[in-house]
């Protein structure tokens, strides 16, 4: 199977997966919800273990955003089961989201999760998928670097705000250095609108206007 790069705007492929919570059809099982689909290099590894604990600590924060979590690695399901049991018994953290057993590697190859120069393990990939099954954001981390789950949570929240209010989201939102927790009005496409924007909103210029959202 060709190892192609997944792109923002692609539809998440319709696949049936084996998980620690049984067989699931994706993205159908989460139709109408956002979900974060992420891969980790291997079970029973230190960085991956810290990531799973970190994801679980924020599990209900994702749920409040109507967003589910799904993990994946090229391990068999019994390895996943034993690992999440170990995490519960030794780290007092119960993993409440499913973990996909991609023991053939086909799903990872399809989504471009395997780095050609890094053997057969998956990289630390993250796909943020919207309720329509469209991939809205993609992150790739090297095997040696754990992810920032607060940033992934921020991205889901920011994408939802952008969709709801039809606005742009500034850097480091909601703590932007210029406009704090405000959002950016899309640039005007004609002279009249550009002039109106300067009167209607706070602006640095006609192409950089911002507003508060409720």
Residues with a known catalytic role: 48
Q: Which two tokens stand for residue 198?
A: 């300067």
22 exposure class (CB count in 10 Å sphere: 0-12, 13-18, 19+): exposed
Residue 70 DSSP SS3: strand
**Residues 6+ positions from 188 with CB-CB distance below 8 Å:** 194, 196, 197, 206, 207
The torsion defined by the Cα of 40, 43, 47 and 50, in degrees rounded to 10, comes to 100
Helix extents (H) in 65-172: 77-91, 106-111, 149-165
């Amino acid at each position: 199977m060709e190892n192609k790069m997944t792109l923002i705007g692609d539809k998440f492929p319709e696949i049936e997966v084996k998980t620690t919570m049984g067989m699931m059809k994706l993205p159908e099982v989460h139709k109408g919800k956002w979900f974060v689909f992420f891969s980790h290099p291997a079970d029973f590894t230190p960085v991956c273990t810290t990531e799973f604990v970190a994801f679980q600590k924020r599990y209900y924060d994702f749920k409040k955003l109507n967003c589910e979590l799904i993990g994946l690695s090229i391990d068999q399901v019994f390895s996943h089961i034993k690992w999440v049991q170990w995490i519960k018994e030794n780290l007092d953290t119960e993993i409440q989201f499913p973990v996909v057993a991609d023991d053939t590697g086909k799903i990872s190859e399809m989504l471009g999760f395997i780095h050609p120069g890094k053997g057969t393990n998956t990289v630390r990939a993250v796909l943020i998928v919207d309720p329509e099954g469209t991939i809205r954001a993609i992150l790739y981390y090297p095997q040696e670097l754990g992810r920032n789950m607060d940033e992934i949570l921020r991205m889901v929240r920011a994408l939802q705000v952008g969709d709801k209010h039809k606005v742009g989201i500034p850097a480091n939102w909601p703590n932007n250095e210029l406009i704090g927790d405000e959002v950016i009005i899309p640039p005007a496409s004609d002279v009249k609108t550009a002039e109106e924007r300067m009167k209607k909103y706070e602006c640095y210029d006609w192409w950089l206007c911002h507003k508060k959202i409720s």
